Structure 1
Amino acid sequence: MPGTVLLLAASPVGKGCLVDAASVLPVLAAVPPAVLAGTDTANVVELADPLEPQAVLTRLRAAAAAAGPLTVFVTGQLQLDRRQHLPHLALARTTPSTVRYTGFPWHWFREELRLRAAGTTTVVVDLHADAEAWGWLRGQVLECGPTVALYGRVAPPPGRRAVAAPTYMKAVATILRSGGRPAVEQLHQMALGRIAGEGEVGDLVLSGGARVEFAPAAPSLPVPGGYRPQTPVSALKGPRPQTPPAGGPPDGLVGLGDDPHAAISTAVQAGNHSEADALAARWEQAAAVSRGVGSEEALHWAEVRADLAMFAGDAERSCRTWMAVAAARLAAGQAVDAPAVEAAVDRAHHQWGRIGDAARARELGPALAELRGRVPGRRQGALDHVQRQLRQLQLQA
């Protein structure tokens, strides 16, 4: 089955730039697509210094929907927004004061990749963090979801007025260009070995979903290959995979293991949308019974069903489900600018715009406008857009 590769290199223009991210793209682009993906054939999408987070989201969403293995290479810098203190991938127009609106929220990677089957998605990163993001990383885990294998490194801020080079990603590309395609874990270790002697100590190393902080080892230890080894000081494990509700899987689901996402993904790829939704519905019901309707487990499965409706081409059902998820999160006391709340309303808004039946769209419009009034989101003019579209629909009645 063909693979998909997304090459993303992004950094701000001007004095806010910490790393020359785009410099790695020619090196990666010189690697044959099949080698980048680790498959017989592959499609490659390249994003160089994108301007808008929505443009990145569109490409990521398309890549996540593709069948077969997906490999995402991300080079750039991390910054925190000053309102929620959440990490963002800085884009070309990002400044410290505009991160929330001009950067790509890191949790969007998790949102877009969450429905992919375990073992089919790899993210390789070479990131430099600004001072605030570096401090955040000391107590937090950077991840892309429980089913995604994340490898790479995050480096601290370079010296004042210095622009760093993406040496880890260039090492990855150089290894791949030399012939052969080692397993990603081996590739990761080989790349770390290449940059270990370049003075880049104190990095956070991401290995298969775990975060390990490294410090230089005693220089007297002999090491094959001429590079200094690094000794792990501490390890913070990433989030656990989704587990079944208390009491085990729902009736009829025993034998599928702890994570039914793979079965759902297989059903979707086979075009069995009703089967996929029925399976997700049973997990949602079981989570609601055992842990509560407003629990994260139940809301997770509601979100899965909203995405499944989208995959089935049922924009109305997807819109209604996303609105219900947003309302449930707000009723549980979550803030109007909480990432999960904003994501639910944004997706409801998007699906509403794809409803082909004008009468159905008119029916949902007022509720969406009310919800959008409470949750304006990051895109300026979102409420105005709903109100304007609703007026046009009402004129068609």
Structure 2
Amino acid sequence: MVINGDDRTPGTALLLAAAPEGKGRLTDATSVLATLAVVPPSVLTGTEVATVVELADPREPQTVLTRVRAVAATPGPLFLYIAGQLQLDRKQRLIHLALARTTPTTVRYTGLPWHWLATELGIRPPGSTTVVVDLVADAEAWQQLTGGGIGLGPGVRMYGRVAPPPGRRTTGAPGYLKAMAEIWRSGARPPMDQLHELAVAQSGSEGALLFGPAPGAPSAPAFGVEQPSARAAVPPQVSRDAAAGAPPPTAVAATPDPHPAILSAAHAGRHTEAAAAAAAWESEALRTYGPGSGQALHWLEVRADLAHLAQDAARSCELWMMAAGARLSGGQAENDPEVEAAVDRAHHEWGQITEAGRAHELAADLVELRRRVPGRQRGALQLLESRLEQLQIRSTGASRQK
């Protein structure tokens, strides 16, 4: 559902509510949408008028990514209101937002990786984005969150809570967001910091991790708040092993989570540093787990995301194609969600390349890959072939003029 206000105001709000179907559901996430829907759009964004996009119980990570990418590209203030549950990918130990089809064993394929949000929001001007969350974590995700936070970058303001897993056969509710909506419906318009404190007090958030200025609350891991001078986390084994030939570690996962520091470096404009750190972690994963491993593929895709943040569309396209090819070579099917996602991202980045020669250079490999992996976007291959034909015509015309 899209609610349009006056065209003069660029404020945008995305209401995202998602949780698994069936017994894996820990929170009734979509129940908050009816409450938020009666709040004037201008209140949700703090602008005179606004556009509100609603996404209820999406089934595909790519659907959510497409919507987030679209709203991230809009000018003016952006507010994301997210209700749902967090689950941990047991293999890569990464936090995901669970979607309708997510189960503990399929979260890698059916959940939205949290770092995707950080990547898409990282291209926005600092201070223009506010994320408000009302989440519950499963047991494994909760353990990881309390041991070390995850971030959305220094330019994103974050408010809300993550609650621990509810008791057996108990389903939680997004009480924090509901309390916030009820305050607005009463006619009150407190500043965001004060609104957060009121919502925490009214929603019974004892024991939850709180994000925002909540005086007196127990300290919690930074969730979206990075140190402005944090350095990208390079695995210490890389330099030591290169000098002394020491054996690789038994598990890269045992090293503290490097993602927040790497993303912080990228958001601060230190793209070379961030890319070098990610490449070092990929190298370590290759040595420890081998080519084609999930760990190595993860860091290859992180490098593709970092190239996107650096606005190097050609390099991002190239890396996403490498990731798709590696997954196919490793035995994953053409219709595997991870393969389709990698090809879709490569296709999107190719469309952002401004240098015709570089686009033409990458097009042949992308067309071959897209023919093998058509994906779920109807007409994607035909659009790609049509643009390639236009590039060839333009290239021929330029040669004749010379």
TM-score normalized by the length of structure 1: 0.65
Contiguous gaps of at least 5 residues in structure 1: 213-229, 246-257, 263-279, 310-316, 329-341, 373-380
Within the candidate set 187, 208, 215, 1:203 is matched to 208
Report whether the alignment pairs 1:233 with 2:218. Answer: yes
Q: Work out the CA distance in 2 between the residues paired with 1:357 and 1:138.
A: 45
Does structure 2 retain, via aligned residues, the 8 Å contact 1:319–1:349? no
1:340-364 per-position Cα deviation (integer Å, ceiling 9, x unaligned): xx99876333233677999976631
1:108 is matched with 116
2:93 is matched with 85
SS at match of 1:109: helix
1:223 is matched with none
SS at match of 1:56: helix
Q: Work out the CA distance in 2 between the residues paired with 1:7 and 1:296.
A: 32
Report whether the alignment pairs 1:31 with 2:29. Answer: no
Contiguous gaps of at least 5 residues in structure 2: 1-8, 233-263, 280-299, 324-339, 393-402
Please report how far the alpha carbon of residue 87 of structure 1 lies from its aligned counterpart in structure 2 after TM superposition: 0.9
Q: Work out the CA distance in 2 between the residues paired with 1:8 and 1:151.
A: 15
Does structure 1 retain, via aligned residues, the 8 Å contact 2:160–2:196? yes
Q: CA RMSD in A?
A: 4.4
Does structure 2 retain, via aligned residues, the 8 Å contact 1:322–1:344? no
1:235-294 per-position Cα deviation (integer Å, ceiling 9, x unaligned): 44432237899xxxxxxxxxxxx99979xxxxxxxxxxxxxxxxx7xx76xx5xxx6983
1:276 is matched with none
Q: Work out the CA distance in 2 between the residues paired with 1:149 and 1:382.
A: 41
Aligned length: 311
Which structure dedicates a bigger proportion of its chain to helix? 2
Q: Cα–Cα, structure 1 residues 23 and 147, in superposed 2: closer, same or farther, change >3 Å?
A: same
SS at match of 2:276: coil
Q: Cα–Cα, structure 1 residues 343 and 239, in superposed 2: closer, same or farther, change >3 Å?
A: farther
Q: Work out the CA distance in 2 between the residues paired with 1:293 and 1:231.
A: 39
Does structure 2 retain, via aligned residues, the 8 Å contact 1:10–1:90? yes
Return the letter of the residue paired with 1:319. Answer: A
1:364 is matched with 362
Please report how far the alpha carbon of residue 145 of structure 1 lies from its aligned counterpart in structure 2 after TM superposition: 1.4
Q: Cα–Cα, structure 1 residues 84 and 260, in superposed 2: closer, same or farther, change >3 Å?
A: closer
1:250 is matched with none
Does structure 1 retain, via aligned residues, the 8 Å contact 2:320–2:345? no
2:250 is matched with none
Within the candidate set 58, 78, 82, 2:66 is matched to 58
Please report how far the alpha carbon of residue 141 of structure 1 lies from its aligned counterpart in structure 2 after TM superposition: 1.0
Q: Work out the CA distance in 2 between the residues paired with 1:86 and 1:140.
A: 12
1:114-150 per-position Cα deviation (integer Å, ceiling 9, x unaligned): 0111111100000011111111111121332110001
Q: Cα–Cα, structure 1 residues 99 and 192, in superposed 2: closer, same or farther, change >3 Å?
A: same
Within the candidate set 314, 321, 329, 1:319 is matched to 314
Please report how far the alpha carbon of residue 305 of structure 1 lies from its aligned counterpart in structure 2 after TM superposition: 7.3
Q: Cα–Cα, structure 1 residues 88 and 136, in superposed 2: closer, same or farther, change >3 Å?
A: same
Q: Cα–Cα, structure 1 residues 46 and 292, in superposed 2: closer, same or farther, change >3 Å?
A: closer
Q: Work out the CA distance in 1 between the residues paired with 2:187 and 2:82.
A: 22
2:396 is matched with none
TM-score normalized by the length of structure 2: 0.64
- Matched ranges for 1:111-122 at <5 A: 111-122=119-130
Q: Cα–Cα, structure 1 residues 243 and 327, in superposed 2: closer, same or farther, change >3 Å?
A: farther
Within the candidate set 347, 351, 362, 2:349 is matched to 351
1:172 is matched with 180
Identical aligned residues as a percent: 51
Does structure 1 retain, via aligned residues, the 8 Å contact 2:146–2:220? no
Within the candidate set 137, 162, 165, 1:157 is matched to 165
Does structure 1 retain, via aligned residues, the 8 Å contact 2:210–2:220? no
Q: Work out the CA distance in 1 between the residues paired with 2:150 and 2:306.
A: 22
1:384 is matched with 373
1:294 is matched with 276
